[in-house]
Structure 1
Amino acid sequence: MRRTVSTGPIAFDATLWDEPTTGIGLYTRCLAGALEAQGVRLEKLGARDSGDHPRGSGSRTAWTLARLPRVLERSKPPLYHALGNFNLPLIRVSGTAYVLTVLDLIPLIMPDTVSAKFRWQFRLWLSRSLLLADRVVCISERTRQDLLERFPEAESRAVVVPIGVDHVHAPVLDATSEDFLRALSLPKDYVLYAGSLDVRKNVDLVLDAMERLRAQGRPASLVLAGQSWFGSGRVESRIARLRAEGHDIRPLGYQAEPVFYELMRRAAVFVFPSRYEGFGLPPLEAMRLGTPAIVSTAGSLPEVCGDAAPAVRPDDAEGLAEAIHRLLRSPREREAFAVKGQARAAQFTWERTAEQTLAVYEDVLRR
């Protein structure tokens, strides 16, 4: 059922709209499209080049702190929704309610996985934003609990609105992409890890499992699709060493969406043993494409994946190796998890995310 707020357009944080896709950028674009499909009018503020009031070449931080309050003062929107974990204006704009989305608290939970500068920016700006926010949208119950452990004063304003995964479809490949994939000569049954190579994602555990499998005479082929990130140099060096030792490990770096999702769709098994996730979208994307996923027991992954994905402790390399081997040798078990995974992923739609976000807007504006 289409619903809409009865006031003027919602001011919507678009500071990552024109940037290379990150989790927040994907959330921004998918949520905007789903809200507009519900009839909500949005003013998209602070994109680099597009939308309303583009910021130009300036930084997102400078835009939010210096220019955004003046834009809100002039346009007087009923509500401003910030989407980047902590990035509300530092001052209250009269007549405008504030909603903040918190996707995760990684800089506070795993401080060594980000730079010291970003860690302090996150902590201080989030503290201020929580003082001003009329509602805090958390994308999982795990994120909500992590937030309340550190900021219990936000309990009455923090609500859970899961994100969607139905932006993922079996890709249509152009000739260049087809040629690229053909040139890779990937084996029929390969294991895929997709995501950044930072410490939090626990790629080392995947490499540990590959070493164990080869030592046991059960080698597997591993494909890695993801960009370098803060602290990824050591993992990249280890990958190079293992390749030199004869392991079939193929680091492909960042890939555009069609190739990325086709690699995911073709994989026999998707592995994602992250040490912490505020939601954990990649395994849900794989599940939607019919690829069985193996995840860790950490963060929100059990909450999101339920019993549709085998789970191992984030320090259990032997358990991960055994789970990989079990699925690789059993097409029947892979098919069973593929069916369960698709059913699980079907529960997470952007329409549902938009409806629940809109309910937050309406509740704030009624007060």
Structure 2
Amino acid sequence: MTFVVNVRILSYRTSGLQRYLLELLQRMPIDDIRQIAPRNTLGVTKAHIWEQAVLPLSVHGKLLWSPSNSGPITKTGQVVTIHDVVRLDHPEFFNSRNAAWYRFLTPRLARRVKRVIADSEFTKSRLLELAGIPDDKVIVIHLGVDARFVPQEGERVMHTIQKLKLPTNRYVLSLGALGPHKNLGRLLRAWQIIYSSLPEDVWLIVVGAKGKNLVFQEVPELTTLPPRVFLTGHIPDELLPSLYSGAMAFAYPSVYEGFGLPPLEAMASGTPTLVGNRASLPEVVGDAAVQVDPFDIEAIADGLHRLIEDASLRAVLREKGLDRAGQFNWDKTAEQTWRVLAEAAED
């Protein structure tokens, strides 16, 4: 079997979509895969035009795998991975043109292709409702956790703390791009409620927020950061395992995820975790994390306070988290994905 992979997203900075594709490609038989991408990095609009107009002409009758939420709508011999439908469920979170495009594309694409791969049962259920497709057309394949996310030695943790110039070695970590569904505003307001009741050396460290101006633009009701909040901006990917591992707790009160890799990575690193109790996150973390209503600032504050102050709770969640994260691995994800592609190719 030889098939074509749409790899246009690999020309952009590594995030969840790129990591998913890279992890799977390195576990698949390279001789059976032909990768196709635009010759040059394109802006969003031009990239979608390339995908719809140019890509189908380059496939030459082979099965196409489009692994990043979109694909050419005219190509029926295709498997598409749809990680989430947040633009359909919450168009208010996005640029109106971007949201409108996915509202048009996603249901039609899901109806036309041979198979749809979804990251979670939650995303599958939303696709079945929004696209009106048969249950057996959507296959749920959970994502994996990279083997480098394990509890780290103290020396490596301290090296990372010093390299990033963190103000303390006792911190709650939050990770995620700016965006309404990541819920940074409510997290910061929850921190404002509790910080004064915590030991003075405990800080909130936010990775991915590039600067105060962007935070205030994304969360306009905040005119100043609460005390003891440190923004790292983008950090090198190799520092993430030790940054996770050194945290007292990990906070991820997202209101919407198609899967949610960061909580699993934190748990695999031995870090007690708090998540929002919406969308796919309860499915992913099970009973191995504190779950709170992500729209309730008091609930987020209470959950954080309990995690920070209750050492026995942290110890229990550490063990549960390590066990839970161990159930997700990229080898299994790649094996199941290859099976779906093979079946689609045979059809």
TM superposition score normalised by structure 2:
0.89
Q: How does 1:215-234 map to 2 (within 5 A)?
A: 216=197, 220-227=202-209, 233-234=216-217
C-alpha change, 1:321 and 1:55, in structure 2 (3 Å) is same
Measured after TM superposition, the shift of residue 21 of structure 1 is 1.0
1:112-168 C-alpha deviation (Å, 9 max, x unpaired): 111011011111122331232100001000000111111122433111011111254
Q: Which amino acid aligns with 1:264?
A: Y
Q: How does 1:1-367 map to 2 (within 5 A)?
A: 7=1, 9-36=2-29, 41-46=32-37, 54-58=38-42, 59-73=46-60, 76-77=61-62, 79-85=63-69, 87-92=70-75, 97-169=77-149, 178=159, 181-182=162-163, 184-214=165-195, 216=197, 220-227=202-209, 233-235=216-218, 241-243=224-226, 247-367=227-347
C-alpha change, 1:40 and 1:298, in structure 2 (3 Å) is farther
Measured after TM superposition, the shift of residue 259 of structure 1 is 2.3
Measured after TM superposition, the shift of residue 208 of structure 1 is 2.0
Question: C-alpha distance in 1, partners of 2:222/2:247?
Answer: 20
CA contact (8 A) 1:113 1:198 kept: yes
CA contact (8 A) 1:10 1:40 kept: no
Q: Which amino acid aligns with 1:297?
A: N
CA contact (8 A) 2:178 2:218 kept: yes
Q: Percent identity?
A: 29
Q: Indicate the residue corresponding to 1:4 in structure 2.
A: none
CA contact (8 A) 1:166 1:348 kept: no
Alignment gaps of 5+ in structure 1? 1-6, 47-53
Question: C-alpha distance in 1, partners of 2:298/2:31?
Answer: 50
C-alpha change, 1:148 and 1:328, in structure 2 (3 Å) is same
Q: Indicate the residue corresponding to 1:49 in structure 2.
A: none
C-alpha change, 1:139 and 1:156, in structure 2 (3 Å) is same
Greater alpha carbon shift after TM alignment, 99-108 vs 156-165: 156-165
C-alpha change, 1:62 and 1:181, in structure 2 (3 Å) is farther
Aligned residues: 339
CA contact (8 A) 2:79 2:117 kept: yes
Question: C-alpha distance in 2, partners of 1:350/1:169?
Answer: 12
Q: Which amino acid aligns with 1:91?
A: T
C-alpha change, 1:42 and 1:363, in structure 2 (3 Å) is same
Q: Which amino acid aligns with 1:338?
A: R
Measured after TM superposition, the shift of residue 40 of structure 1 is 6.8
Q: Which amino acid aligns with 1:225?
A: V
RMSD between aligned alpha carbons?
2.7
Give the SS at the match of 2:224: helix
Measured after TM superposition, the shift of residue 238 of structure 1 is 5.8
CA contact (8 A) 2:267 2:321 kept: yes
Alignment gaps of 5+ in structure 2? none
C-alpha change, 1:227 and 1:341, in structure 2 (3 Å) is same
Greater alpha carbon shift after TM alignment, 123-132 vs 354-363: 123-132
1:61-120 C-alpha deviation (Å, 9 max, x unpaired): 2321222112112xx32x1110121x2223237xxx210101000111111111011011
Structure 1 runs of 4+ aligned residues shifted over 4 Å read: 215-220, 235-240
Question: C-alpha distance in 1, partners of 2:168/2:160?
Answer: 16
CA contact (8 A) 1:221 1:248 kept: yes
CA contact (8 A) 1:199 1:232 kept: no
1:235-259 C-alpha deviation (Å, 9 max, x unpaired): 466666134xxx1000111111122
Question: C-alpha distance in 2, partners of 1:317/1:83?
Answer: 35
TM superposition score normalised by structure 1:
0.84
Q: Which amino acid aligns with 1:41?
A: D
1:187-232 C-alpha deviation (Å, 9 max, x unpaired): 2321111001211111122112212113556664111001469x95
